[in-house]
């Protein structure tokens, strides 16, 4: 739940989670186990294809929601079910309270439903004098603690067995120990009595199948079955997003939902209810069933050209499971009611700007969520778009405006960077780091040293050192990005050396500037767009086969976001598409295109490990090329655990949430040091800045280099 009024308060709340050792250990273990479990569950399956199919069928269902609802309602009513439409949460809760009143129900047993969490149903029912008992074990636990869920699938993951033991001692009035099996048995008995007493059962629904008018429920504990069988009245509350045309669509989602949620092939129970069933406790022997279909903004959302993808969400929770920020702070902080990446988005739409404004900034843009999403939703992009919307509504903070102004004017921007070189003189050390942080940084930023601005930027070096290539095999343009232009120009120079040796003719268009990702990360979409247009204009596409960048983040942004940024300008869009198709990262170019060979590189006896930049491994789906290059380039590659997990840089993220950035970096560096490697290689200057800074502060001997540098050093 979000209570923080501003970013400062939000950061204080995050601190609490970071200091919670139990939570941290649990979520660390979970993150690692989940990854293996998921991979195993999808083994032998074409996951990409399945996700694709789900995305298509859900998009279609979204587009036809009105017709589907009509069909669903007609079929359900024909089978004796009452169907209600609720435009918002309050109305849904009112309808359900009214049903209870009309049917003279007093006691309610409930199975898990995120939709009911969304409408805060229990609260309203209790206010209407009804007794509501959650029967899903995790939900019951948090209900007793008066908390919200901290995960969509495992609502009580933040609690230990000892906490549950104490809680159950209170509930039973007898001392309970902390053995999990025993605690589960206590819940079994305590809740069994509740089913016996209840006159109404409330469930959610995972599927609302239009062709049958029936619903499907996906559960493990079996509580939804008892809730929908024993009491004489059954109410199922579901969002419009659950509508599907055919049973087949539900079966397809069922192939992904449990696998993506918990790494299970299928849950213990999938219950299909169609029509008003037999019920011995009802007067006429028939159960009274009500479906409450919740809109709450969904019908608007599915009409939005960009946000309609949100309708594809099947609430599997995977986007939280893989999120490095979730792993650090847990669901109470990485969400309001809905949790994880999708939580950041839904909070804005269902619970409003105030609850979402801090949350949406807490995404490092690592794309791990997008990579596993069962609906193929471009979650990081939507999060950024919401951030942008909130800025539009609330006004842009001063630093954003300044940066935006500066970035839009390349000459001014580069002039400032050059000036910074002189400004840093008094604090610059010989080893390329700044001795102490400038005053604008608070002490939370001291977890990593910052680099100095280079003596000569790459663009100046290029003027004097552009190599002449006799018989070029490839013609390429170089895109440096700001960091390699002004902080690490030697990495560019190293690449130039290897390219020239392999007959690659190069151009460096001087009008290029920052790729724009940093401003986009701050939610400044307009500036991002303008910078993109400048860069597109700087490149004469006909002249090059490839546009190469050594920065994984630039590469991802140029390739995937540029075409989207200029979508509304048809002529530029064509250019952006062509531009994007030519963009390639350093490792892929050298390994896949140049196909360099081991014989051309000296063998050195150095053990090197690797950090996979988010925007390379997930953004561009490049996995093999860099690792192969390390070996080709003469080093011994040792694998690092969690190699593809974010280093915590995230550009401006590390400025805004230094405490989270520091933790992510610390996990990363622990893993790196464990490998015993002397050198850490990677493909992105942003990551290098973060990793070097952290190792320097630790006083570690591990050296961080761009792969381009070792390729140049070891060239025979």
Partner 1 sequence: MSATQELVQKFTEKAELVSAFVTTVSSEDEAFKYVIDLCDKKDACQLLMSGCERDLSDKAEALCDTKQQKIIAAPGQKKGFYKELATLSKKAGFECIDSGMRDHLAGIDIGVTYAEYGIAETGTLMIDCPSEELRLATMISEYHVCILPKSKIKKDSYAVEKMMLTRMKKTPNYMAYVTGASRTADIERVLALGVHGPLELHILLLED
Taking CB under 6 A as the rule, does residue 41 contact ligand SF4? no
Nearest residue to 33 via CA among 262, 355, 283: 262
Report what 135 binds from partner 1, ligand SF4, none; CB cut-off 5-8 Å by kind.
partner 1
Give the Cα separation of 114 and 140 in Å (integer): 14
What does the DSSP 8-state code read for residue 560? Answer: I
Q: Which residues of 327-344 are buried (b: 16+ CB within 10 A; e: fewer)?
A: bbbbbbbbbbbbbbbbbb
Report what 156 binds from ligand SF4, partner 1, none; CB cut-off 5-8 Å by kind.
partner 1
Contact segment (CB under 6 A) with ligand SF4 among 370-378, 450-458, 520-528, 586-594 equals 370-378
Applying CB under 6 A, among 227, 235, 360, 366 the residue interacting with ligand SF4 is 366
**CA separation, residue 681 to residues 556, 587, 686 (Å):** 19, 12, 13
Min CB(249)–ligand SF4 separation in Å? 15
Give the Cα separation of 334 and 10 in Å (integer): 10
Min CB(217)–partner 1 separation in Å? 10
Taking CB under 8 A as the rule, does residue 193 contact partner 1? yes
Kindly state the tokens that stand for 702. Answer: 């591990």
Applying CB under 8 A, among 185, 418, 463, 602 the residue interacting with partner 1 is 185
Applying CB under 8 A, among 43, 146, 174, 443 the residue interacting with partner 1 is 174
Query: Do 673 and 422 contact (CB within 8 A), yes or no?
Result: no
Min CB(164)–partner 1 separation in Å? 5
**CA separation, residue 186 to residues 110, 143, 177, 201 (Å):** 18, 16, 11, 21
Taking CB under 6 A as the rule, does residue 313 contact ligand SF4? yes
Report what 430 binds from partner 1, ligand SF4, none; CB cut-off 5-8 Å by kind.
none
Applying CB under 8 A, among 119, 229, 491, 534 the residue interacting with partner 1 is 229
Taking CB under 8 A as the rule, does residue 150 contact partner 1? no
Nearest residue to 656 via CA among 416, 359, 418, 434: 359
Residues forming a β-bridge with 293? 85, 238
The residue to which tokens 């059962």 are assigned: 201
Q: Regarding beta strands 107-110 and 131-134, do their DSSP bridges make them parallel or antiparallel, or are they unpaired? A: parallel
Of 282-341, binders to partner 1 (CB under 8 A) are 286
Min CB(649)–ligand SF4 separation in Å? 12
Kindly state the tokens that stand for 100. Answer: 């209870």
Applying CB under 6 A, among 51, 230, 325, 386 the residue interacting with ligand SF4 is 325
Contact segment (CB under 6 A) with ligand SF4 among 30-38, 319-327, 473-481, 605-613 equals 319-327
Of 130-149, binders to partner 1 (CB under 8 A) are 135-138, 141
The residue to which tokens 């209900």 are assigned: 143
The residue to which tokens 């909070």 are assigned: 347
What does the DSSP assignment read for 552-616? HHHHHIIIIIHHHHTTT-HHHHHHHHHHHHHEEEHHHIIIIIS---GGGB-----EEEE---HHH
Nearer to ligand SF4, 364 or 417 (CB): 364
Min CB(293)–partner 1 separation in Å? 19
Residues forming a β-bridge with 705? 681
Applying CB under 8 A, among 148, 222, 472, 509 the residue interacting with partner 1 is 222
x/- map, 12-31, partner 1, by CB under 8 A = --------------x--xx-
Nearer to ligand SF4, 168 or 649 (CB): 649
Q: Regarding beta strands 207-209 and 214-219, do their DSSP bridges make them parallel or antiparallel, or are they unpaired? A: antiparallel
Taking CB under 6 A as the rule, does residue 356 contact ligand SF4? no
Min CB(292)–ligand SF4 separation in Å? 22
Nearest residue to 357 via CA among 327, 320, 329, 396: 396
Applying CB under 6 A, among 237, 318, 450, 640 the residue interacting with ligand SF4 is 318
What does the DSSP 8-state code read for residue 428? Answer: B
Contact segment (CB under 6 A) with ligand SF4 among 179-187, 214-222, 289-297, 308-316 equals 308-316
Taking CB under 8 A as the rule, does residue 56 contact partner 1? no
Taking CB under 6 A as the rule, does residue 26 contact ligand SF4? no
Residues forming a β-bridge with 234? 201, 289
H or E element in which residue 379 lies: helix 379-394
Contact segment (CB under 8 A) with partner 1 among 271-279, 408-416, 417-425, 488-496 equals 271-279
50: three-class secondary structure by DSSP: helix
Min CB(370)–ligand SF4 separation in Å? 7
Nearer to partner 1, 225 or 582 (CB): 225
Report what 104 binds from partner 1, ligand SF4, none; CB cut-off 5-8 Å by kind.
none
Report what 230 binds from ligand SF4, partner 1, none; CB cut-off 5-8 Å by kind.
partner 1
Taking CB under 8 A as the rule, does residue 195 contact partner 1? yes
Give the Cα separation of 702 and 640 in Å (integer): 13
x/- map, 436-475, partner 1, by CB under 8 A = ----------------------------------------
| Dihedral angle over CA of 68, 71, 77, 79, nearest 10 | -110
x/- map, 375-404, ligand SF4, by CB under 6 A = x-x-xx------------------------
Taking CB under 8 A as the rule, does residue 345 contact partner 1? no
Taking CB under 8 A as the rule, does residue 270 contact partner 1? yes
Nearer to ligand SF4, 375 or 516 (CB): 375
The strands making up 207-209's β-sheet, listed across from edge to edge, are: 214-219, 207-209, 243-244
The strands making up 636-637's β-sheet, listed across from edge to edge, are: 636-637, 607-610, 679-682, 703-706
Report what 278 binds from partner 1, ligand SF4, none; CB cut-off 5-8 Å by kind.
partner 1
Residues near 38 by beta carbon (within 8 Å), at least 6 away in sequence: 259, 260, 263, 318, 321, 372
Applying CB under 6 A, among 341, 521, 533, 635 the residue interacting with ligand SF4 is 341
Min CB(637)–ligand SF4 separation in Å? 26
Show the beta-strand stretches assigned E in 593-706: 607-610, 636-637, 679-682, 703-706
Taking CB under 8 A as the rule, does residue 269 contact partner 1? yes
Applying CB under 8 A, among 14, 116, 254, 318 the residue interacting with partner 1 is 254
Nearer to ligand SF4, 151 or 582 (CB): 151
Contact segment (CB under 8 A) with partner 1 among 66-74, 122-130, 166-174, 572-580 equals 166-174
Give the Cα separation of 239 and 422 in Å (integer): 59
**CA separation, residue 385 to residues 358, 361, 390, 516, 569 (Å):** 14, 11, 9, 15, 19
Contact segment (CB under 8 A) with partner 1 among 269-277, 321-329, 543-551, 597-605 equals 269-277
Give the Cα separation of 499 and 505 in Å (integer): 8
Kindly state the tokens that stand for 489. Answer: 């120009």
H or E element in which residue 300 lies: helix 298-301
Kindly state the tokens that stand for 424. Answer: 């840093």
Query: Do 601 and 632 contact (CB within 8 A), yes or no?
Result: yes
Kindly state the tokens that stand for 176. Answer: 């309970």
Give the Cα separation of 704 and 681 in Å (integer): 6
Nearer to partner 1, 223 or 361 (CB): 223
Using CB under 8 A, count the residues that bind partner 1.
79
Taking CB under 6 A as the rule, does residue 31 contact ligand SF4? no
Applying CB under 8 A, among 92, 261, 276, 346 the residue interacting with partner 1 is 276
Instruction: Name the residues that contact ligand SF4, by CB under 6 A.
Output: 313-319, 322-325, 341-342, 363-369, 372-375, 377, 379-380
């Amino acid at each position: 739940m979000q209570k923080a009024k501003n970013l400062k308060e939000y950061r204080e709340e995050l601190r609490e989670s970071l200091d919670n050792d139990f939570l941290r250990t649990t979520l660390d273990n979970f993150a690692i186990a989940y990854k293996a479990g998921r991979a195993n569950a999808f083994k032998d399956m074409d996951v990409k294809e399945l996700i694709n199919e789900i995305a298509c069928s859900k998009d279609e269902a979204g587009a036809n929601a009105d017709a589907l609802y009509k069909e669903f309602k007609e079929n359900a009513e024909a089978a004796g079910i009452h169907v209600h439409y609720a435009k918002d949460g309050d109305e849904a809760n009112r309808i359900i309270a009214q049903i209870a009143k009309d049917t003279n129900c007093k006691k309610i047993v409930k199975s898990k439903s995120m939709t009911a969490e969304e409408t805060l149903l229990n609260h309203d029912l209790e206010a209407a004098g009804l007794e509501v008992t959650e029967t899903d074990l995790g939900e019951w636990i948090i209900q007793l603690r008066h908390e919200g869920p901290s995960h969509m699938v495992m609502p009580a993951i933040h609690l230990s067995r000892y906490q549950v033991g104490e809680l159950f001692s209170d509930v039973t009035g007898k001392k309970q120990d902390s053995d999990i099996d025993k605690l589960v048995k206590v819940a079994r008995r305590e809740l069994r009595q509740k089913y016996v007493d209840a006159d109404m059962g409330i469930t959610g629904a995972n599927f609302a199948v239009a062709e049958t008018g029936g619903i499907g429920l996906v559960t493990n504990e079996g509580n939804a079955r008892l809730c929908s069988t024993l009491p004489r009245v059954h109410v199922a509350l579901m969002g419009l997003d659950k509508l599907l045309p055919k049973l087949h669509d539900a079966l397809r989602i069922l192939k992904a939902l449990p696998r993506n949620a918990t790494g299970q092939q299928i849950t213990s129970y999938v219950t299909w209810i169609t029509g008003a069933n037999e019920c011995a406790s009802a007067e006429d022997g028939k159960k009274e069933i009500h479906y409450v279909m919740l809109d709450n903004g969904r019908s608007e959302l599915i009409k939005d050209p960009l946000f309609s993808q949100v309708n594809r969400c099947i609430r599997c929770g995977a986007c939280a499971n893989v999120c490095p920020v979730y792993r650090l702070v847990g669901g109470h902080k990485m969400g309001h009611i809905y949790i994880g990446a999708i939580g950041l988005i839904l909070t804005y739409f269902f619970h409003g700007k105030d609850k979402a404004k801090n949350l949406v900034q807490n995404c490092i843009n690592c794309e791990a969520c997008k990579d596993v999403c069962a609906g193929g939703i471009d979650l990081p992009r939507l999060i950024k778009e919401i951030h942008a919307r909130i800025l539009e509504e609330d006004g842009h903070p001063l630093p954003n405006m300044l940066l935006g102004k500066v970035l839009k004017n390349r000459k001014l921007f580069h002039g400032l960077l050059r000036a910074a070189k002189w400004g840093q003189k008094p604090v610059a050390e010989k080893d390329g780091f700044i001795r102490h942080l400038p005053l604008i940084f608070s002490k939370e930023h001291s977890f990593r040293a910052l680099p100095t601005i280079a003596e000569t930027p790459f663009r100046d070096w290029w003027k004097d050192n552009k190599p002449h290539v006799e018989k070029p095999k490839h013609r390429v343009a170089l895109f440096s990005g700001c960091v390699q232009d002004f902080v690490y120009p030697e990495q560019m120079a190293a690449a130039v050396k290897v390219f020239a040796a392999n007959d690659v003719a190069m151009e460096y268009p001087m009008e290029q500037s920052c790729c724009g990702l940093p401003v986009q990360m701050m939610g400044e979409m307009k500036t991002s767009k303008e910078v993109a247009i400048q860069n597109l204009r700087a490149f004469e596409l006909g002249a090059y086969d490839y546009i190469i960048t050594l920065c994984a983040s630039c590469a991802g942004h140029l390739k995937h976001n540029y075409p989207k940024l200029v979508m509304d300008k048809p002529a530029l869009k064509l250019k952006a598409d062509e531009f994007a198709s030519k963009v390639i990262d350093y490792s892929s170019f050298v390994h896949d295109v140049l196909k360099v060979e081991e014989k051309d590189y000296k063998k050195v006896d150095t053990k090197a490990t690797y950090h996979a930049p988010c925007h390379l491994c997930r953004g561009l789906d490049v996995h093999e090329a860099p690792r192969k290059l390390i070996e080709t380039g003469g080093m011994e590659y040792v694998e690092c655990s969690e190699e593809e997990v974010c280093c915590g840089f995230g550009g401006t993220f590390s400025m805004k949430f230094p405490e989270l950035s520091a933790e992510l970096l610390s996990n990363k560096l622990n893993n790196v040091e464990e490998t015993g490697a002397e050198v850490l290689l990677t493909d992105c200057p942003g990551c290098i800045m973060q990793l070097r800074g952290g190792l320097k502060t630790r006083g570690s001997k591990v050296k961080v280099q761009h792969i381009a540098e070792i390729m140049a050093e070891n060239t025979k």
